[in-house]
Amino acid sequence: MSNSQQQTHQQTAATAYWTVGPEKGELRREVLPAPGPHEALVRTLFSGISKGTELVVHNARVPECVAAEMAAPNQEGSFPGPVKFGYLSVGVVEEGPAEWLGKTVFCLYPHQDLYVVPVESLTVVPEDVPARRAVLTGTVETAINGLWEAGPRLGDRVTVIGAGLVGGMVAKLLSDFPLGRLQLVDVDPAKRAFAETLGVDFSHPDDALPDCDIVIHCSASEAGLARALQLAGDDGDVIEMSWYADRKVTVPLGEDFHARRLSIRASQVGVVARARRHRRTNADRLRLAVSLLRDPGFDVFLTGSSPLAELPDVVQQLSDGTREALCHVIEYPVSEDPATEPATTEATR
């Protein structure tokens, strides 16, 4: 790379979303460095809002004791803020090694229209996977990790509690397993139509079938975890996929848990589940996740879209409940000159 080319790259500007305080986000401009020999410049096409985790960050509720462990792979800044956080991004490689040029890629990167990363952090999106759908790669990865942790067996009776993005994704993957029974459980009766779209039996918690071999809890609620312990059969497993952030949760260990010898195991996507940790890498897991997205049935999880300029407002609307979504997609403008885009947009309560 010549000095003149490097100077041009160094002057490339990008727009990124930052959380700058509790319930406050804004778009900021930044200058990108020149891509190195093993790096790529990616122009973003779409990013997805992972509502559960990103709203924890938006509301400044990341516990200090796990702040380092909960940092996203390409995060800048630190909790509670200012912090650039996010991890569902799909774009096209515009500069970098020849074999990467023009490829559509998924990256665990925050909401930003242009970015430079090592090529090893990119996952190639198959040609038969639409770029918009590919933003779900990170969520499919989370669901895969949970299933590797749970280890469902032939004929198992499995219940998933919580029909949100992660719970729905877990149920979607389990629908192809040779199970004896599968239920998706939620307190919201409107989720029945969603479950039917997934081809999964739906139940209100009060009517859910007991004696499960595995219960996967994704509702991030105290009541949901308590019900999970009730639905698990003797010596059964509860896989906890919820993140409670700084909330205190009371678990009724004096009831079903102790008397029926139940197990509660955490599943967290930061590391590969222990059952596969010695034989799969994070990159292997991402490649598997994006390959599964050839199935158009995953489109049901994409429940809305907005342009990048509206992202601060959208996050606040998701936080205060005025906008509902499973995975809300952010669309990025096609621009030859990013400097023509607005410099800063801010949203506060």
Q: What is the pLDDT of residue 339?
A: 38
DSSP sequence for 172-197: HHHTTS--SEEEEE-S-TTHHHHHHH
**CATH topology for 3-126+294-348?**
Quinone Oxidoreductase; Chain A, domain 1 (3.90.180)
Q: Please count the CA atoms within 13 angstroms of the CA of 90 that sit on its side-chain side.
A: 24
Tell me the pLDDT band of 343, cut-offs 50, 70 and 90. very low
Share of the chain above pLDDT 70, in %: 93
Give the tens place of pLDDT for each residue, 112-126: 999 999 999 999 999
Alpha-carbon distance of 319 to 286, in angstroms, equals 28
Cα of 274 vs its chain's centroid, Å: 20
Q: What pLDDT sits at residue 268?
A: 92
Mean pLDDT of 195-217: 98
**pLDDT at residue 337, as a whole number:** 46
Give residue 54's pLDDT: 96
pLDDT digits (tens, 9 = 90+) for 87-106: 999 999 999 999 999 999 99
- As a whole number of Å, the end-to-end CA separation of the chain is 46
* pTM, full prediction: 0.91
- Mean of the per-residue pLDDT values for the chain? 93
Could you state, in order of their start, the residue ranges of all structural domains in the chain? Answer: 3-126+294-348, 140-266
- Percent of the chain whose pLDDT exceeds 90: 91
The one-character DSSP state at 112 is B
Q: How big is the chain by its Cα radius of gyration, in Å?
A: 21
Q: What residues contact residue 340 under an 8 Å CB cut-off, 6+ apart?
A: none
Query: What confidence score (pLDDT) does residue 158 get?
Result: 98
What is the tens place of the pLDDT at every residue in 53-84? 999 999 999 999 999 988 999 999 999 999 99
345 pLDDT band, cuts 50/70/90, is very low
SS3 345: strand
pLDDT score for 335: 57
Taking only the tens place, the pLDDT of each residue in 310-331 is 999 999 999 999 999 999 999 9
Do residues 180 and 214 make contact, with C-beta atoms less than 8 angstroms apart? no
Fold exhibited by the domain 140-266? Rossmann fold (3.40.50)
Residue entry with tokens 């779409």: 46
Query: Per-residue confidence at 220, pLDDT binned at 50, 70, 90?
Result: very high
Domains 3-126+294-348 and 140-266 share a fold: no
**Strands 13-21 and 24-31, bridge-based pairing:** antiparallel
Q: 232-286, pLDDT tens digit by residue?
A: 999 999 999 999 999 999 999 999 999 999 999 999 999 999 999 999 999 999 9
Q: Where is 139: in which H helix or E strand?
A: helix 137-150
One-letter amino acid at 65 equals C
What's the mean pLDDT in 304-315? 97
Band of pLDDT at residue 39, cut at 50, 70 and 90: very high
Residue 334's pLDDT is: 79
| Band (140; pLDDT cuts 50, 70, 90) | very high
